[in-house]
Structure 1
Amino acid sequence: MTKQDELKNLETLLFEHTENENYYLTHSGSYSKRYEATYTERQFIDGKEVLMIDVGDLVHNPLHIRKDSRYTFMPFHTYRNINLNYIYSGKATYFIDNQEITLTAGDICFFDTQVVRAKMKPVHDDIIINIVMQHDYFKSLLTLDDKNLLTHFMSQTLYSNQSHNNYIIFRTGDSPQIRSLFEDLLLEQYKDRTYKMEASKHYFSLIFLELIYLSKQEDKSLIHFSDSSSNTIFNVVNYIEQHYQTTNLSELSQVFGYHEKYLSSLLKKSYGKSFKQIQIEKRLADVERYLNTSTLPISDIAERTGFTNLNQLYREFKNKHGLLPKAYRNQITGPGAGE
């Protein structure tokens, strides 16, 4: 069977009615069966009855992947584990903190464990893929690139905060890579073969790596944090990393509309680093890359990475590595390269 035939079969499987969906179609106005289940714990949070959904399958598997049922309203609920929704087709509308949040085809949303939301009734074209993850598995994804801005912010937003009511939206509708990887992940779910879960973990890791790649783009509309402070800081730090060679606090102030002193204070308080620290770290990372992969003279590397003063480069590099750039390069490539 060709890949195209497999994808056609996948479409058929995703859009055909499940037993639950047939029930909801013939019992208009009925709530999700999760709501009616007596085994689902309920708590009252801010005056609302909230379903506390616990996915038992996670005891044995790091991922639980399913298609959400259409034609039924899902009352206020939350999951005890990190939960991801991917909109394969159509849209999904949620009510969170008295706000209506709509995701459209291609969007991905990570929900923390205390995000209380209700979901409006999906119709025929609304195919919503629901993925729940073990905590340890999700933490392992964050180590795929622990120096990346996105993984830093996801770790801060989802694990370091005392409250766990944050969510992160990725607007990936224009990414054919994300679409293709989710198709591969879903194809795996409908196969009955050995190592199915290992393959699923592989595809999901690739999806996460692609999100890391997308986070390096300058388009601010791609990623949205529910916490407004995180949203601002993420965009500011992302701008610094994109323009690290030449940007300064004055430029940042003009781009984001904040006073220089306020921006400087916000970065230090929320990100734990000053503007200059972020800029120097990014410059040094690129200096290391050039030393590892090129024979460019160190003076050229300094110019390309924004160091207008060679002495500053030598000082900052030695502070980090304990040796000068030439000695660092000699350790890797041997004497003579790029002298």
Structure 2
Amino acid sequence: MKISNFEELIRYLDEDTAEEKEILSSNSLGIRKMDNGNSIIINQDTKGISTSFPNEELTRNRFAIRRKYRYCTINEHRHEYIEIVYVLKGEFEQSIEGEKYKMKKGDFCIFDKNTRHASEAINKNHIVINILLTPKFFDGVFMHLLSDDNYISNFIVNTLYTMNSTQNFIKFHIDEGTTLHMILQNLLIEYFSESTRSKAAINGYLLILFAELSRALIKINEAAVDESQKVIKEKVLNYIRKNYKDINLKTMANYFNFHPSYLSNLIKKEFGKNLKDLLMEVRMAEACNLLENTNVTIEAIINEIGYVNNSYFYKIFKKQYGCTPIEYRNNIK
């Protein structure tokens, strides 16, 4: 099927599915534990909370788009992937972490991993879209965003990429006629035109979608992000001071639950230098402290601060302070 325009898309999505017709014919609102089981695997923990996992198809494709089932209540659950909820037409009510939210046409919500949510039954002619994205989806497409110098955009992408257990969600409204609105229209038309669907085009739309989302969220989140980064800056510096002997970008990113590219950009933004230079300064400062306050040998100091190449240490020390370590110690004394 080829969908040519937005009006055709609405007509197509307005049609009830076979399962929805079955629910209606039973003269009752069906109650489901989860969304469409075609794209997920459902497990239930000891507390009775359902968790959905991507099945083989979703894992292979890394994303899926579908219309949310109507006429049935979706009980509280959480995901092991990102879910985006977009109200294309009408409205519905959902709860997020126990709080109820009325979602109206144009409302857009991104659920991070482990965010508990549920939704009331959606009525006839109301259309709600779900976009499912696995963490590996970000490995390819969103590396382009993480390479951007806009660190606020990187903050948004990193929040989604890291998939941490803080149970975050982002909710805001998309006005008609905006760039975001047109991107979403084109994305949905492309995806639901199954006979002519282009995966490359869909990837392109998703990349642009998240780039524009980052721009839109700057106005909402800039102050909060700036405040958050001030705290993170101090934590990063403390971490380096405590672990300078054996440290690298990957292990440090894992510790903070950041993507390495995001952490690298954050360090450049907050400190004006890369991790290598920042680490060198911390190591040199500790070397000076040992030269000034102890009588340990230069070789022992080199080992203590994490260098294995003595010649390299002497070279950068002299470049930094204009003298050798021995001369530095003698001058202090």
Tell me, yes or no, whether TM beats 0.5: yes
TM norm structure 2: 0.60
Letter of the 1:206 partner, please give it: I
Match of residue 233 from structure 1: 224
Match of residue 205 from structure 1: 207
Match of residue 17 from structure 1: 16
Q: Is the 8 A contact 2:191 2:197 kept in 1?
A: no
Per-residue CA distance 1:168-225 (angstroms, 9 max, x = gap): 2232235522221111111112324456222211111121122123234x3x3xx6xx
Please show how residues 39-118 of structure 1 align to structure 2 within 5 Å: 40-44=41-45, 47-118=47-118
Structure-1 separation of matches of 2:163 and 2:61: 26
Residue 232 of structure 1 deviates from its aligned partner by: 6.0
Q: Is the 8 A contact 2:113 2:165 kept in 1?
A: no
- Decide whether aligned partners of structure 1 residues 92 and 34 sit closer, same or farther in structure 2, where only a CA change above 3 A counts: same
Structure-2 separation of matches of 1:22 and 1:9: 21
Match of residue 321 from structure 1: none
Residue 85 of structure 1 deviates from its aligned partner by: 1.4
Per-residue CA distance 1:213-259 (angstroms, 9 max, x = gap): 3234x3x3xx6xxxxxxx8632657xxxxxxxxxxxxxxxxxxxxxx
Structure-2 separation of matches of 1:211 and 1:171: 11
Match of residue 181 from structure 1: 183
- Decide whether aligned partners of structure 1 residues 33 and 12 sit closer, same or farther in structure 2, where only a CA change above 3 A counts: farther
1:131 partner SS: strand
Match of residue 32 from structure 1: 32
- Decide whether aligned partners of structure 1 residues 150 and 67 sit closer, same or farther in structure 2, where only a CA change above 3 A counts: farther
Structure-2 separation of matches of 1:172 and 1:235: 24
Residue 34 of structure 1 deviates from its aligned partner by: 4.6
- Decide whether aligned partners of structure 1 residues 21 and 149 sit closer, same or farther in structure 2, where only a CA change above 3 A counts: farther
Number of positions where the alignment pairs a residue of Structure 1 with one of Structure 2: 241
Q: Point out where structure 1 has 5 or more consecutive residues left out of the alignment.
A: 224-230, 238-262, 282-339
180-189 vs 154-163, greater mean Cα deviation: 154-163
Structure number, greater radius of gyration: 2
Residue 133 of structure 1 deviates from its aligned partner by: 1.5
Specify which of 149, 152, 175 is matched with residue 151 of structure 2.
149
Letter of the 1:208 partner, please give it: F
Per-residue CA distance 1:57-113 (angstroms, 9 max, x = gap): 223313211111111101122222222111212234222222113332222222122
Structure-2 separation of matches of 1:201 and 1:29: 36
Structure-1 separation of matches of 2:210 and 2:167: 21
Structure-1 separation of matches of 2:36 and 2:176: 38
Q: Is the 8 A contact 2:135 2:161 kept in 1?
A: no
Match of residue 299 from structure 1: none
Structure-2 separation of matches of 1:190 and 1:40: 23
1:207 partner SS: helix
- Decide whether aligned partners of structure 1 residues 121 and 149 sit closer, same or farther in structure 2, where only a CA change above 3 A counts: farther
Letter of the 1:191 partner, please give it: S
Structure-2 separation of matches of 1:50 and 1:107: 25
Q: Point out where structure 2 has 5 or more consecutive residues left out of the alignment.
A: 237-255, 257-262, 273-333
TM norm structure 1: 0.59
Q: Is the 8 A contact 1:87 1:108 kept in 2?
A: yes
Q: Is the 8 A contact 1:111 1:168 kept in 2?
A: yes
Q: Is the 8 A contact 1:116 1:165 kept in 2?
A: yes
CA RMSD of aligned residues (A): 3.7
